[in-house]
């Protein structure tokens, strides 16, 4: 693992820890609010918990994209295989978040007496996670492609300026 990749992972993991703490607080607040309103055992509680988990996934996706794009942009030498390593590494933070989100969803379903809804809610959450991983992969791969294209263009421009100077006698 390169130093840049390691730094991106550390920053992403730090944000993951913040997201996990915020998710727990948010779900606790949802439960307290709905219990106070007498709506705890309703589907509204499950919807809000699922929405909180999806929101955390999307925030983690944004962080992973930002930090790993930074790593890819700062690298002196980058290859497609290294970018694929970044994609896998960045996607792991989504997997880590999934583990905690799944625990929360199962716990709430048990508390409200609807354990049969766990599979459906997790399927919904997983679709958000798949989309997040696809967004991460697309962002990193396209960022690498743009960087590579920019290097080719700047290299070609340099060669053309150099040839122009040679042909014109250094007056370019």
So what's the pLDDT on residue 28?
A: 96
Rounded mean pLDDT, 4-26:
96
Task: Enumerate the domain spans of the chain.
Answer: 3-143
Residue range 68-111, pLDDT digits in tens? 999 988 877 778 888 999 999 999 999 999 999 999 999 999 99
19 contacts: CB under 8 Å, gap ≥ 6: 56, 59, 60, 63, 97
Residue range 125-157, pLDDT digits in tens? 999 999 999 999 999 999 888 765 554 455 555
Can you tell me which residue has the tokens 């070609």? 156
**Which carries the bigger pLDDT value, residue 160 or residue 118?**
118
pTM here is 0.81
So what's the pLDDT on residue 29?
A: 96
So what's the pLDDT on residue 75?
A: 78
So what's the pLDDT on residue 149?
A: 54
Question: Which two structure tokens, joined as six digits, stand for 45?
Answer: 């509680």
Task: List the one residue out of 129, 127, 128, 109 whose CA is nearest residue 118.
Answer: 109
So what's the pLDDT on residue 172?
A: 45
128 neighbors 54 (Cβ within 8 angstroms): yes
């Amino acid at each position: 693992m390169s130093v840049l990749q390691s730094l991106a992972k550390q920053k992403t993991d730090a944000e993951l820890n913040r997201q996990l703490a915020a998710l727990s607080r948010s779900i606790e607040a949802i439960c307290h609010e709905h219990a106070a309103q007498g709506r705890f055992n309703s589907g509204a509680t499950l919807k809000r918990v699922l929405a909180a988990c999806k929101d955390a996934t999307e925030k983690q996706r944004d962080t992973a994209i930002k930090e790993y794009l930074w790593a890819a942009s700062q690298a002196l030498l980058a290859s497609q295989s290294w970018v694929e390593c970044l994609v896998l590494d960045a996607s792991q933070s989504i997997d880590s978040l999934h583990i905690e989100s799944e625990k929360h969803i199962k716990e709430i379903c048990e508390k409200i007496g609807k354990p049969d809804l766990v599979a459906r809610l997790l399927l919904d959450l997983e679709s958000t996670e798949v989309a997040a991983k696809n967004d991460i992969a697309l962002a990193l791969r396209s960022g690498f492609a743009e960087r590579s294209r920019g290097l080719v263009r700047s290299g070609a421009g340099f060669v053309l300026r150099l040839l122009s100077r040679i042909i014109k006698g250094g007056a370019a």
